[in-house]
Amino acid sequence: MMDGSYTLVDNGDESTKVEYRLAVDVKIPMIGMLKRKAEKVIVDTALKGLRKRVESLA
């Protein structure tokens, strides 16, 4: 199971702080290195998707 969410906060200076939270329930044991690599891929993909969406609205 995977559950992710964004929190957007207006900084008041025409910029926005974006926080991405991700919870992953892995059914099999994973060594730390593989887990960190998977986390990086998921977060990078989410950020690319967010950037694409924001830039399409600009």
Domain ranges of the chain: 2-57
Residue pLDDT, tens place only, 1-58: 788 899 999 999 999 999 989 888 878 887 888 888 888 898 899 889 999 998 998 7
Residue 23 pairs in a beta bridge with: 3
Does residue 18 sit in helix, strand or coil?
A: strand
- For residue 22, the model assigns a pLDDT of 86
pTM of the model: 0.64
Q: In sequence order, what are the residues at sequence separation of 6 or more whose Cβ sits closer than 8 angstroms to the Cβ of residue 16? A: 8, 9, 10
